[in-house]
C-alpha cells in the first residue's frame, strides 16, 4: 500500500500524544462531564493515560498485541467510572486483533481499530445516537476504512478519521442521552457535548499526528 506500514514506535507515539491531549484538556473534559455526568472524565482519563505511559516506558513491548494488552489492563485497573473499562476494552481488543506483529499496514490498523470499537459496543451496549463515544468512533472508522479502500495510506486515513470524529462529536450536542450517567437527566442532557465523544476525537487527533 502507499506510505508503507505503521511501526511499533509510531503506535507508542500515538499513545503518548493521546495522553498529552487528555492531560492538556483535562479541565475542559471535566467541565463537559460536570454538566451531564460525574465531573471526573478529564481527571480519570489524564490519570489513566499517565499510568499507561509510565507502564509503557518501564516495560517496552516487543509486539503490538503485548503493548495494547498492557495498555488496556492498565486503564481497566487504574481508571474509575465508565471511561477506564471502555477505553481499556478498546485497547485490549485492538491488541488482540493486531496480533504478535511489530508493524501494521493500513488495512490491519483499520481492522484493529474496528475490533476496538466492537469491544466498546459490547461493553457499553451503545449505538450511534445514544450520545456516547460511539457517536464519534463509528464515523471515524467508517472514514478510515473508506480512505484505505480507496488506496490512501494510513496517515491520510487517520486524518480523515479525525475529521469525521469531530463531526460525530458535534452531533452529540442536541441529543438526549440514552446510555450512561447522562441518561438519568433525560431531556436536560440535550445541549451539551458528550465528554466521551470529545475524548474520542483526541484519540484520532493523536493517531493522525503520530502517523503524519
pLDDT at 67 exceeding the cut of 90: yes
What's the pLDDT band for 2 if we cut at 50, 70, 90? very low
pLDDT at 188 exceeding the cut of 90: no
- Using only C-alpha atoms, the chain has a radius of gyration, in whole angstroms, of 16
What is the CATH class of 6-211? Answer: mainly alpha
What's the pLDDT band for 189 if we cut at 50, 70, 90? confident
Looking at residue 61, what is its pLDDT? Answer: 94
Residue 55 contacts residue 91 (beta carbons within 8 Å): no
pTM for the model stands at: 0.95
Mean pLDDT for the chain overall: 94
- Taking residues 4-20, report their average pLDDT: 96
Looking at residue 198, what is its pLDDT? Answer: 98
What's the pLDDT band for 29 if we cut at 50, 70, 90? very high
Residue 126 contacts residue 132 (beta carbons within 8 Å): yes
What pLDDT, in 10s, does the model give residues 164-182?
Answer: 999 999 999 989 888 777 8
Rounded Cα gap, residues 49 and 24, in angstroms = 12
Cell of 12: 507508542
pLDDT at 45 exceeding the cut of 80: yes
pLDDT at 108 exceeding the cut of 70: yes
pLDDT at 144 exceeding the cut of 50: yes
Domain boundaries, the chain: 6-211
What pLDDT, in 10s, does the model give residues 85-99?
Answer: 999 999 999 999 999
With cell 463509528, the residue in question is 138
Q: What is the share, in percent, of the chain residues with pLDDT greater than 90?
A: 83
Amino acid at each position: 500500500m502507499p506510505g508503507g506500514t505503521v511501526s511499533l514506535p509510531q503506535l507508542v507515539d500515538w499513545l503518548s500524544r493521546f495522553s498529552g491531549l487528555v492531560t492538556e484538556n483535562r479541565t475542559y473534559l471535566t467541565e463537559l462531564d460536570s454538566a451531564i455526568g460525574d465531573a471526573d472524565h478529564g481527571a480519570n482519563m489524564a490519570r489513566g493515560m499517565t499510568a499507561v505511559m509510565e507502564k509503557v516506558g518501564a516495560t517496552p513491548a516487543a509486539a503490538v498485541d503485548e503493548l495494547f494488552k498492557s495498555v488496556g489492563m492498565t486503564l481497566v485497573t487504574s481508571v474509575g467510572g465508565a471511561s477506564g473499562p471502555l477505553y481499556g476494552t478498546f485497547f485490549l481488543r485492538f491488541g488482540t486483533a493486531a496480533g504478535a506483529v511489530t508493524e501494521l499496514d493500513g488495512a490491519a490498523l483499520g481492522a484493529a481499530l474496528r475490533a476496538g470499537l466492537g469491544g466498546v459496543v459490547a461493553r457499553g451496549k451503545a449505538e450511534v445516537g445514544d450520545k456516547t463515544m460511539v457517536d464519534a468512533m463509528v464515523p471515524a472508522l467508517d472514514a478510515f476504512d473508506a480512505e484505505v479502500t480507496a488506496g490512501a495510506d494510513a496517515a491520510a486515513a487517520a486524518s480523515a478519521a479525525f475529521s469525521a470524529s469531530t463531526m460525530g462529536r458535534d452531533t452529540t450536542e442536541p441529543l438526549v442521552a440514552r446510555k450512561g450517567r447522562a441518561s438519568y437527566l433525560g431531556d436536560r442532557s440535550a445541549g451539551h457535548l458528550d465528554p466521551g465523544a470529545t475524548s474520542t476525537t483526541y484519540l484520532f487527533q493523536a493517531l493522525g499526528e503520530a502517523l503524519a
